[in-house]
Amino acid sequence: MTDLDTAQEAGAPHVSVLLDEVVAALASGPGDVVVDGTFGAGGYTRAILATGASVIAFDRDPSVARFAAPISASFGATDGRFRLIQDRFSQITAYLEDASVDGVTLDLGVSSMQLDEAERGFSFMRDGPLDMRMGADGPTAADLVNELDQVELARILYVYGEEHASRRIASFIVKRRAERPFTRTLDLAAVIERALGGRKGAKVHPATRSFQGLRIAVNAELEELEAGLVAAERVLKPGGRLAVVTFHSLEDRIVKNFLAERAGRTPGGSRHAPPIEAGAPPSFQLISSKAIAPGEVELAVNPRARSSKLRAAVRTTAPVWSAA
Ligand SMILES: C[S@@+](CC[C@H](N)C(=O)[O-])C[C@H]1O[C@@H](n2cnc3c(N)ncnc32)[C@H](O)[C@@H]1O
């Protein structure tokens, strides 16, 4: 039985994106230790284990444990090369020593399982509770749309959803919730569609951008990414490799700027990593200055790979930049 068979048996429709490119960028081998910060259905983890390396995987979603069980059975139990930690990747440093691993990979966003299961509340195509949490704690999307003030709601839709009609949508939401709070995904999607005046032959569903904005806010995804990159800088050994796959421009900009700063290409600083004195030695060296995109073959079999981009870099011997 192949890995794919095992994953499908366990109900994992997730097809790993840019898998060969990530494995090549990590360049791991026997004796190496690699952190897979976004375990999902374990596609990256299995490919890394196949190189002979050990994997310490993280995922904030407790439901992925079902995909870890077969991997533990084949690798973990026999030679202890695999373990899954249910936590956010921003917390890596709580589990691992500084300069202790040879690779870190992050494959951002939601998995196909999360998107496709109506009960998780990520989909504007399937009716489900308005949840959108990848993990099991924190406020839900329903909490946000029912409780945030109109200005903050519009800001979330505009900044995280890149939705230009954010103020109009927020005003429709606030009016409607005064009569009846939102509890279901399709109900919210219909109100957003009305705010935008219907579909008008649009290629994407009118709720696409708003749902993306809410999902990013519910899961604090951009804050997680910034903190995860800083954590990776700490735990990577000199010569260790970082490989990050993003799915939209907001994520890609964060990774691109972080690596450009740390590689000495631009002056830096962010909320999690204040700039340090001029002339600090680069803590990363870029593997390629351009992002790597999926090829035509991958796009033909997995349309969900469409907007993905890989950025990768090697940790230098310089100290970490961040005080965190
Ligand atoms: C795109 S999937 C990863 C798929 C995986 N690479 C594979 O090949 O099967 C993203 C996964 O990362 C998890 N995730 C997203 N943000 C996270 C975070 N900040 N910390 C830990 N896990 C996170 C999600 O719960 C989801 O399971």
Q: Is the distance from CB of 284 to CB of 315 less than 8 angstroms?
A: yes
Alpha carbon 322 to its chain centroid, in Å, reads 21
Residue 110 Cα, ligand 1 centroid: separation in angstroms?
A: 6
Q: Which atom of ligand 1 is nearest to the CA of 89?
A: 20
Of the candidate CATH numbers 1.10.760.10, 1.10.287.80, 2.40.37.10, 1.10.150.170, the domain formed by 120-219 belongs to: 1.10.150.170
pLDDT tens by residue, the chain, 324 residues? 333 333 344 455 789 999 999 999 999 999 999 999 999 999 999 999 999 999 999 999 999 999 999 998 887 666 789 999 999 999 999 999 999 999 999 999 999 999 999 999 999 999 999 999 999 999 999 999 999 999 999 999 999 999 999 999 999 999 999 999 999 999 999 999 999 998 777 788 999 999 999 999 999 999 999 999 999 999 999 999 999 999 999 999 999 999 999 999 875 555 555 555 556 899 999 999 899 999 999 999 998 899 999 999 999 999 999 754
Of the candidate CATH numbers 3.40.225.10, 3.40.50.460, 3.40.470.10, 3.40.50.150, the domain formed by 3-112+223-315 belongs to: 3.40.50.150
Q: Which amino acid is at 317?
A: T
- The closest residue, in CA terms, to atom 22 on ligand 1 is 59
Q: Could you state, in order of their start, the residue ranges of all structural domains in the chain?
A: 3-112+223-315, 120-219
Q: How far is residue 166's CA from residue 163's CA, in Å, rounded to a whole number?
A: 5
Residue with tokens 């899961």: 219
Q: How far is residue 264's CA from residue 251's CA, in Å, rounded to a whole number?
A: 20
- The closest residue, in CA terms, to atom 24 on ligand 1 is 110
Q: Which atom of ligand 1 is nearest to the CA of 39?
A: 5
